[in-house]
Chain A
């Protein structure tokens, strides 16, 4: 059971990590990176690293998308 959860987490991280690299549009990439971060948090949790999982959630789901989205908005505004 334990191994199965870890296997699912590893597969999730592998697939979503590849998806981040293969997404070319930065706006979509920010969302795909969010799913990747969630997968990483799930992996840490399945390995019983609760503190690291929480840090990963707050950085991957709050800080990173916020900075990427606001930077994209700024770049777009300057182009207009």
Chain B
């Protein structure tokens, strides 16, 4: 496209975008305005109906649970796509740099970095589990906790080297976590059908409000989503790390 054609295209598209945005923004509730009727209703109903203290979790995993199901599968599809795209191509090989110079060892990290990684990775694993399991009580949940769990593996890499972190992320385990997590969401949804209600109905015992085991399927769904997201983000990091560390162009 020539420069002139692009300018003409921009001159038409920019005002159209400005008008569409302006109309949309004008329709927004004003800053600091009162809560919408829907928000007020859910704030009132969710703690009593679902025994949760974090209403956002009740919306994303119960009232709007089907939306989150699709989001899970978007993440699954995205990670599967990245795994396919970042595989070693026919003109690439997968070898450690050490294979070329066996006499040179990988330098060990400084003790301070190593200690920081040990402390931080265990702390991240704990925070991740806490965030996943308390999704129905406090802000957070399966997605946020899952990413924090996966980041514990990243920290292991920062404090050690590729060889060590490879042992922490066996590909079959990560892929199984990704798949069973996503499938688990569907299975929990089917529990509703088995109980004679509709798909994704909250048919498990609700427990006492404010307890760790409360919210029925909301708690269970947070758990499977946490497993899936942790697997997904660990695969994501492993694929990118492989590209950087061990996949190189085959020399003719």
Contact = CB atoms under 8 A, between A and B. Distances in A.
B45 interface: no
10 nearest interchain CB pairs? Answer: A50-B139, A58-B147, A70-B240, A51-B56, A54-B144, A73-B244, A51-B139, A62-B151, A74-B243, A74-B244
A22 interface: no
Contacts of B148: 58, 62
Given A54-B131, A58-B144, A58-B147, A63 B139 contact: no
B168 to A, nearest CB: 16
Interface of B: 54, 56-57, 131, 138-141, 143-144, 147-148, 150-151, 154, 233, 236-237, 240-241, 243-244, 248-249
A62 B154 contact: yes
Which secondary structure characterizes the binding site on chain A? helix
B240 A67 contact: yes
A73 B162 CA distance: 14
Nearest to B151: A62
A54 B132 CA distance: 12
Interface string A52-68: 01110111001100110
A25 interface: no
Contact of A63 (B54, B233, B243, B244): B233
Nearest to A61: B151
A66 B131 CA distance: 21
A28 B153 CA distance: 24
